[in-house]
């Protein structure tokens, strides 16, 4: 029983070991153009239009800007 | 492991998780503290003489859009106020000198720019966002910490700079 509890504790703690904070000054790679989920503004606006037409609302696709978390 | 130990270890685990999530203070440099000696951080480039000057120390990166928006404003301050004992000091946190130079080629500026290649200085300041800037008075004390950059920030910052320049 003791061993099982200990193993459970270790299993619960294990994800924390892989957690790391990307510092604001290390976000160069995240802000890169290639990190954007969609890179074609025209396709974006077309799908946004289709979305709006079908669902009667728009937006909610995340915040503005790249992945740099600036401002 | 008895029940008490189990509860203690679980609460310690949750506590460390909460501590990891809540480390979001704005910056380590606060109003009233003295600016550390910048020559001790292995910055690339030539540091200007800062003694007796009002300094706008700006952490920026070539990949940061608001930094790009701030540069013309900073350059305007430099041209307007350099003669009165003011300087902008831009500290790039770009990973490569090439990225920084490429940006500066497109956005030429008249203020000094250095690169914090090892991220020692920016880690000491521990800023929470890019860009982040600090206003330093003539005596070398941090007087203002500012985060991000919006066009509307320019006028109050300029007023602050001018009031620090008016101090002896």
Q: What is the 3-state secondary structure (H, E, C) of chain A?
A: CHHHHHHHHHHHHHHHHCCCCCCHHHCCCCCCHHHCCCCCHHHHHHHHHHHHHHHCCCCCCCCCCCCCCCC
For residue A4, give both structure tokens.
């099982």
* Contact status, residue B151 vs residue B76, Cβ threshold 8 Å: no
End-to-end Cα distance, chain A: 51
Asked if ipTM goes beyond 0.85, one says no
Q: What is the pTM of this model?
A: 0.75
* Cα gap A22→A69, rounded to integer Å: 11
Q: Is A59 exposed, middle or buried (0-12, 13-18, 19+ CB in 10 A)?
A: exposed
* Site from A24, A33, A34, A65 to mutate, B interface, most B CB atoms within 10 angstroms: A24
Q: Which of B13, B20, B130 sits opposite A19 (nearest CB)?
A: B20
Q: What are phi and psi of A43, to 5 degrees?
A: -60, -40
Q: Rounded mean pLDDT of chain B?
A: 87
Q: Do B59 and A25 touch (CB under 8 A)?
A: yes
Show the domains of chain B with their CATH numbers. Answer: 26-166 (3.40.30.10)
What average pLDDT does this structure show over B2-18?
Answer: 60
**CB of A19 less than 8 A from some CB of B:** yes
Q: Do B61 and A68 touch (CB under 8 A)?
A: yes
* B64-118 confidence digits (pLDDT tens): 989 999 999 999 999 999 999 999 999 999 999 999 999 999 999 999 999 999 9
Q: Rounded mean pLDDT of chain A?
A: 77
**CB of B94 less than 8 A from some CB of A:** yes
**CB of B153 less than 8 A from some CB of A:** no
* B122-138 confidence digits (pLDDT tens): 999 999 889 999 999 99
* Contact status, residue B142 vs residue B29, Cβ threshold 8 Å: yes
Least Cα separation, residue A40 to chain B (angstroms): 19
**DSSP bridge partners of B59:** B91, B132
Q: Which residue has the higher pLDDT, A58 or B111?
A: B111
């Amino acid at each position: 029983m003791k061993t099982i509890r200990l193993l459970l504790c270790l299993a619960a703690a294990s994800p924390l070991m892989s957690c790391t904070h990307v510092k604001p000054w290390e976000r160069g790679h995240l802000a890169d153009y290639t990190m954007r989920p969609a890179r074609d503004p025209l396709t974006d606006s077309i799908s946004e239009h289709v979305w709006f037409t079908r669902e009667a609302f728009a937006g909610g696709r995340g915040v503005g800007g790249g992945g740099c978390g600036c401002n | 492991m008895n029940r008490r130990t189990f509860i203690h270890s679980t609460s310690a685990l949750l506590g460390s998780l909460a501590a990891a999530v809540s480390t979001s203070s704005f910056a380590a440099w606060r109003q009233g503290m003295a600016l550390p000696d910048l020559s001790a951080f292995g910055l690339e480039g030539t540091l200007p003489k800062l003694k007796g000057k009002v300094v706008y120390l700006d952490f920026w990166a070539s990949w940061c859009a608001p930094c790009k928006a701030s540069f013309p404003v900073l350059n305007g301050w430099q041209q307007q106020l350099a003669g009165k004992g003011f300087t902008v000091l831009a500290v790039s946190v770009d990973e490569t000198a090439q990225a920084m130079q490429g940006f500066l080629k497109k956005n030429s500026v008249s203020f000094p720019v250095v690169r914090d290649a090892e991220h020692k200085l920016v880690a000491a300041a521990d800023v929470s966002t890019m860009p982040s800037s600090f206003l330093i008075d003539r005596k070398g004390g941090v007087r203002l910490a500012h985060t991000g950059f919006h066009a509307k920030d320019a006028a109050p910052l300029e007023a602050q700079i001018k009031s620090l320049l008016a101090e002896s």
